[in-house]
Amino acid sequence: MRKCLKIEDNIDEILSIIIRFTKIRKKVLNTNVEQMYNAGFEPKDVPTEEFSQSINIAISEHVQSGRLLLFDSENLRFKSNGEFELSLIEDADDRKLFEKDIELYLDAQSRKLAENQTHKMIAEELMKEKNGVSSELISSWF
């Protein structure tokens, strides 16, 4: 049975989790580029599909019942106060790109970083609008 965490302050909590997740992913993707010439290098990523599924379930639950339920998955564990733990996963597709063509690999990392930044900016903007505060203040919270 999967563990479930119930949270009372719904939207701020989900947005803060998304922002934290994107910050972690940015570090992982940057590390992929910085360490790609190190011996034994293996591209990693965060469990984006598991995270997306957990967030989709949480939002559906919020819409239906006004509460937020976050379900753990194989590589993602939610804690109280908006915290979570995740396990990095090996990125087999990026490994193939890396072995085949470094430029394609770097392009893939750049696309992932851009997509990740977009997700972070959307979550920050939604939090800004909901709370009536500046983007700078939102960024300082994380």
Per-residue pLDDT of the chain (142 residues; tens, 9 = 90+): 566 555 555 788 889 999 999 999 999 999 999 999 999 999 999 999 999 999 999 888 888 887 788 899 999 999 887 789 999 999 999 999 999 999 999 999 999 999 999 999 999 999 988 888 877 777 777 7
pLDDT at 8: 52
Q: Which two three-digit tokens encode residue 76?
A: 């993602």
Confidence (pLDDT) at 18: 95
Rounded to a whole number of angstroms, the distance between the first and last alpha carbons of the chain is 32
Give bridge partners of residue 84 from the DSSP assignment: 78
Alpha helices by DSSP H, listed for the chain, are 10-34, 48-65, 92-100, 102-131, 135-141
pTM for the full predicted model: 0.87
What pLDDT shows up at residue 4? 59
Task: Return d(Cα 105, Cα 135) in angstroms, integer.
Answer: 32
Dihedral over Cα of 77, 21, 5, 72: its sign: negative
What pLDDT is recorded for position 104?
96
Tally the residues of the chain: 142
